[in-house]
Amino acid sequence: MLNHLPILQVILPLLAAPTCLLLKEARLAWAFTTACCMATLAISVMLLLQVIDSGVIVYSLGGWQAPIGIEYRIDSLNAFVMVLVSGLSSAVILAARESVAKEVGADKQVLFYIAYLLCFAGLLGICATGDAFNVFVFLEISSLSAYTLIALGSDRRALWAAYQYLIMGTIGATFILIGIGMIYMMTGTLNMHDLAERLPEAAHTKTVFTAFTFIIIGTCLKLALFPLHLWLPNAYAYSPSIVSAFMAATATKVAVYVLIRFVFSVFGVDFSIDHMPLQQILLVLSLIGIVWVSIVAIYQTNLKKLLAYSSVAQIGYIILGFSVGTVLGLQASLIHLFNHALMKGALFLAIAGVVYRIGGCEFSQLSGIGKKMPWTMAAVVVGGLSLIGVPLTTGFVSKWYLVSALIEAGWWPAVAVVMLGSLLAVIYVWKVVEVAYFGSPEDGYEGAYEVKEAPLSILIPTWMLAASNIYFGIDTRFTSTIGHLASQTLFGAGS
Amino acid sequence: MAYLAQYNYWVVVVLMMIGLYVVVSHGNLVKKLMGLSIFQTSVFILYISMGKVDGGTAPILEEGISVYSNPLPHVLILTAIVVGVATMALGLALVVRIKEAYGSIEEGDIQEKDKQSC
């Protein structure tokens, strides 16, 4: 049993999805999905402990040895990302029942949970697999179910957002497919470990160069790096609140993982960073992204959309750390990957509570909401402080590592941009605080007087995430140790 | 002449560009999906081309034959075709819902209506 863990955590949600269809009632489907997510979380934590204890776990599917068979290869990097994905999915699904009951039509609720499980299975599959083509297949499983989830939003703009995401997402995934095809053409293998060994021989060819470009652009589309982020704001803003929380906390993070995996483990540090101008391109794009998208966020009048733009800016920080190209930079990037998932998870879940009570999150409706829903808005404030990077929150830890990595590399102008980005974050977080605490309920939503605190079933998971924002801001042992271990392994593998 | 020897790759590139161009340039949502489909199909041809071995037959064990085409890209592309079909089905379903909600499947009209409702 124990040696089947790598496959079990992908198989479990994948099989649970059709089983869900048999449960006709939404409440049962929710309970089943929650149990499944929790079980997966337990498995991924066990895997992480096992990896820390005894190193890389290799699992051959169906007993066929790689490179003929497909293998799952769990190292400290993907074990870490899987704990993140399953942990946040569990927290989000805990809050889902009442929010989904309110925002999704009664006949579609069971289907919602099925799509959720499929998306979850796809994301875990991307992390677990050691086969390049498998990455594409799981990417499409998670994307197709994500389009469905977004389209379930009650606003008609959700449909348009889902369509746009479908077009952009499919182009991105097909780019990755082209890239994988080309490296297969040059090496005759799809196994990532084998690819890493055989690619250096072909590294000087134009085919590998082109393949690299296709894969990088494809993943950057998926992870919404500026200026390829245009699908993201609408997709987050109009999908059901639970889906916004789920996507913001997991989907883009897994895309970042794919980027790291391909750049470091498949193409190798020598090729990606020394031969290609990847560092410079990502550096410039992430810096422009941080500043420009933060400014756009300031001008938003819808809370969800504001946070969606802030997500794009935060992805800029993750990519910035990555583009430094040192162990410390990658560590900063991984730590922020984890911390940003916690921040956005807490923020979007709190918004799910707000939407549950007042039916929307336009600023005009939120006036004075801080007095009516003190606990929910307090969670928003904690998340917001974390976004800014105030000490004692996780955001501070991320920024600390990021800035030290930049200083170590001597990139002073980039340090200035990070500081500028934080100042812009202060502005947009303050905008939310101003409306929520200093507006009077009378100018707001008509029924504002009857607005109560969000139901406990949403509030508790929200505060679990908000509290972990503070916990991981004070006790950084977990994130920094794993981040350090993973980035060292990746650089070790390359040299 | 050497450029024409591998004409299938030229076909791939031409189809790929046609597909992408249609996705970008057309405002009609169904036409966009058709462009996307052409784009994906070009990748299928790319994969199948790379599996071809000169003089090789279909990969079925038979006496007297020793050269086979590489079956792996075929298998891979079967999966990709399934993915393509699913994407297309989902895309078209979304277009039907968009038509119901907006009364139009032209990108311009939809953006116009979104602006008005804001």
Burial classification of residue B103, based on how many CB atoms lie within 10 Å of its CB (0-12 exposed, 13-18 middle, 19 or more buried): exposed
CB contact under 8 A, A151 and B97: yes
Q: Tell me whether residues A148 and B79 touch, CB distance under 8 A.
A: no
User: Which residues of chain B have a CB within 8 Å of the CB of A144?
Assistant: 83, 86-87, 90
In the structure, what pLDDT confidence band is assigned to residue B53 with cuts at 50, 70 and 90? confident
Residue with the bigger pLDDT between A361 and B23: it is B23
**Would residue A425 count as lying in a domain?**
yes
Any domain includes A472: yes
Q: Between residues 167 and 186 of chain A, which touch chain B (CB distance below 8 Å)?
A: 167, 170-171, 174, 177-178, 181, 184-185
Q: Which of residues 122-141 of A touch B (CB under 8 A)?
A: 133, 136-137, 140
Chain B residues inside the 8 Å CB shell of A162: 94
Q: What are phi and psi of A479, to 5 degrees?
A: -65, -45
Q: Which two tokens stand for residue A428?
A: 């947009």
> Is the minimum CB–CB distance between A299 and chain B shorter than 8 Å?
no
Q: What is the pLDDT of residue A447?
A: 54
Question: How far is residue A352's CA from residue A257's CA, in Å, rounded to a whole number?
Answer: 27
The answer to whether A151 contacts B73, with C-beta atoms less than 8 Å apart, is no
Q: Are A66 and A112 in contact (CB under 8 A)?
A: no
Per-residue pLDDT of chain A (495 residues), as tens digits, is 677 888 888 999 999 888 888 888 888 889 999 999 999 999 999 989 888 888 888 888 887 887 778 888 888 888 999 999 999 999 999 988 888 888 888 888 889 999 999 999 999 999 999 888 999 999 999 999 999 999 998 888 899 999 999 999 999 999 999 999 999 988 888 888 888 888 888 888 888 889 999 999 999 999 888 888 888 988 898 999 999 999 998 989 999 999 999 988 888 887 877 777 888 888 899 999 999 999 999 998 888 999 999 999 999 999 998 888 888 888 999 999 999 999 999 999 999 988 888 888 888 888 878 888 888 888 999 999 998 888 888 888 888 899 999 998 888 888 899 999 999 999 999 988 888 888 776 655 555 556 777 788 888 888 988 888 888 888 888 888 888 888 888 887 544
Find the radius of gyration of the CA atoms of chain A.
21
CA A2, CA A43: separation in Å to the nearest integer? 9
Listing DSSP states for A410-451 in one string gives T-HHHHHHHHHHHHHHHHHHHHHHIIIIIS-GGGS-GGGGG-
Residues of B in contact with A238 (CB under 8 A): none
Please judge whether A159 and B47 are an interchain contact, meaning their C-beta atoms are less than 8 angstroms apart: no
Cross-chain Cβ contact B80/A136 below 8 Å? yes
Instruction: Report d(CA B21, CA A298) in Å as an integer.
Output: 34
Residue pair A217/A175 in contact (Cβ under 8 Å)? The answer is yes
Beta carbons of B43 and A178 less than 8 Å apart:
yes
Task: Kindly determine whether residue A163 and residue B50, on different chains, have CB atoms separated by under 8 Å.
Answer: no
- Closest CB to B97 among A159, A185, A190: A159
Rounded to the nearest angstrom, the gap between the alpha carbon of residue B15 and the centroid of all alpha carbons in its chain is 9
**Neighbouring residues of A325: CB distance < 8 A, sequence distance ≥ 6:** A269, A273, A279, A409
Q: Which domain holds residue A422?
A: 277-495
The 8-class DSSP code of residue A104 comes to: S
Q: Is the pLDDT score of B93 beyond 90?
A: yes
Nearest to A174 among B39, B73, B79 (CB): B39
Q: pTM score > 0.90 for this model?
A: yes
Integer Cα distance of A466 and A402 in angstroms: 22
pLDDT of A60:
85
Q: What is the dihedral of CA A227, A232, A234, A237, to 10 degrees?
A: -130
Is A96 within a domain?
no
Distance CA B18, CA B12 (A): 10
Would you state the pLDDT for residue B118?
Answer: 61
pLDDT confidence of residue A34: 92
Q: Is the model's pLDDT at B70 over the cut of 70?
A: yes
Nearest to A178 among B46, B98, B114 (CB): B46
Type of residue found at B33: L
- Right CATH number for B2-52+69-117 from 3.30.390.50, 1.10.10.350, 1.10.287.3510, 1.10.599.10? 1.10.287.3510
- B32 CB neighbours in chain A (<8 A) are 167
* Assigned domain for A306 exists: yes
Closest CA to A113 of A27, A40, A41: A27
The answer to whether B43 contacts A181, with C-beta atoms less than 8 Å apart, is yes
* Contact assessment for residue A346 and residue A451, using Cβ atoms and an 8 Å cutoff: no
Q: Kindly state whether residue A408 falls inside one of the protein's structural domains.
A: yes
Contacts of B39 in chain A (CB under 8 A): 171, 174
User: Which residue in this structure is represented by tokens 């928003």?
Assistant: A380
A159 — contact with chain B (CB < 8 Å)?
A: yes
CB contact under 8 A, A136 and B90: no
Both tokens assigned to B106: 């032209």
Q: Flag whether residue A427 sits within 8 Å of chain B, measured between CB atoms.
A: no
Is residue A457 one of the residues assigned to a domain? Answer: yes
Question: What confidence score (pLDDT) does residue A495 get?
Answer: 40
* Cβ count within 10 A of residue A192: 21
Distance CA(A114)–CA(A33), nearest Å, equals: 8
**Test the B interface: residue of A167, A176, A217, A363 with most B CBs within 10 Å:** A167
Q: Looking at chain A, which residue has its C-alpha nearest residue B51?
A: A185
Residues of B in contact with A170 (CB under 8 A): 36, 40, 87
Contacts A–B by Cβ distance under 8 A: 66
Answer whether residue A135 is part of any domain.
no
Q: Is A206 touching B (CB cutoff 8 A)? A: no
Please report, for residues A47, A413, A453, A484, the alpha-carbon distance to residue A53 in angstroms, rounded to integers and kept in the order given.
10, 40, 44, 15
Read off the tokens for A427: 């502005």
Q: Which residue in A has a C-alpha nearest to residue B13's C-alpha?
A: A178
Q: Is the pLDDT of residue B1 over 60?
A: no
Distance from CA of B3 to the nearest CA of A (A): 16
- B90/A144 CB distance under 8 A: yes
The pair of structure tokens assigned to A411 is 């990139």
Residue A366 lies in a domain: yes
- Total domain count, chain A: 1
